[in-house]
Amino acid sequence: MAHISRRHMFQLASGAAALAASTSVVPALAGHHKHPFFQISLAQWSLHRAFKNGVAKPENFAYIAKQVFDIRGIEYVNQFYYDTYSDTLIKNLKNQADSEGVESLLIMVDREGDLGAGNKKERKLTVEKHHRWAHMAKALGCHSIRVNARSVGSYDEQMKSAADGLHQLGDYCDKLDLNVLVENHGGLSSNGQWLAGVMKLADHPRVGTLPDFGNFVTNWETGESYDRYKGVAELMPWAKAVSAKSFEFDKNGNAVQTDFYRMMKIVKDAGYKGWVGIEYEGDKEGEIEGIFKTKALLEHIQKADS
């Protein structure tokens, strides 16, 4: 199966795997080998350059996750399937995931409008645009779709509008036994206190959060950002998935921008048990190398916790 320019991909992967294996990550391991509280998944966005420049095909994401990275849980990104969406595509994605023994976890949905749009008509339209991705997620066996809570107006107005749109989508997805998760993804959604308020106001069992370790810039023009550790702690009570965002690593294999040990302690202390998705977004090293380094770091935390 010539899925990706396999020879090229595996050459890169083997080199990156060796590098990750040889990297010394601190602090030292300890413990008595109990089952870790989280499993490691892979967000498709980690390979967005490879998919966009044709090195890899989005349709082969499950194959790549398992065969290249030995990861058995995946998080799709709807942008890669806009032009190819069909029943046949969904069937093929499902068949490949099943054949690889990979679990489809969620679909990250972007570019379908603002769930917190300023008027009811726009919010209703946005909710409807999410329906096809909800049905795709259901067909693939996912537990959730990940959405955005963008809005307009004052702090309180945006909170009310976002909560309304999320509640509507939560009602629809409830019929599909599917969750609707909001990621901190810019603007007020990157303000942990605001998004926690949206969750309380939406007050829906199907509406939750997907805390991302790195998306806490609230104003790109000024560079203003929210404290990432405080923000993740505020979002964890509603978390049904977690995104381990990474950009860059030091010589010991630790993430430069985020203390993964501190962050994962916040995740654990919240009582979370589930998947933690690798989302590498750096540009100082290749995507494959970045994924392997993030995986090695998370595996080290798993062992330290066991």
Whether residue 24 is predicted with pLDDT greater than 60 in this model: the reply is no
Whether residue 7 is predicted with pLDDT greater than 90 in this model: the reply is no
Is 91 strand, coil or helix? helix
Q: Is 9 in contact with 56 (CB distance < 8 Å)?
A: yes
Q: Render pLDDT for 181-225 as a digit per residue (tens, 0 to 9).
A: 999 999 999 999 999 999 999 999 999 999 999 999 999 899 899
Q: Specify the DSSP element, H or E, that contains 137.
A: helix 131-140
pTM score, two decimals?
0.90
Instruction: Tell how strand 207-210 and strand 242-246 pair up.
Output: unpaired
Residue 217 sits at φ, ψ, to 5 deg, of -80, 115
| CATH number listed for the domain at residues 33-305 | 3.20.20.150
Whether residue 136 is predicted with pLDDT greater than 80 in this model: the reply is yes
Output the CA angle 200-206-208, nearest 5 degrees.
55
DSSP character at residue 220:
T
Domain ranges of the chain: 33-305
Is 243 strand, coil or helix? strand
Is 286 strand, coil or helix? coil
CA atoms 231, 232, 237, 240: torsion sign: positive
Whether residue 29 is predicted with pLDDT greater than 50 in this model: the reply is no
Q: Render pLDDT for 38-76 as a digit per residue (tens, 0 to 9).
A: 999 999 999 999 999 999 999 999 999 999 999 999 999
174: nearest Cα among 141, 206, 134? 206
Q: Render pLDDT for 83-106 as a digit per residue (tens, 0 to 9).
A: 999 999 999 999 999 999 999 999
Measured between alpha carbons, how far is residue 183 from residues 35, 167, 221, 240 in Å? 27, 15, 21, 11
Over the chain, what is the mean pLDDT? 91
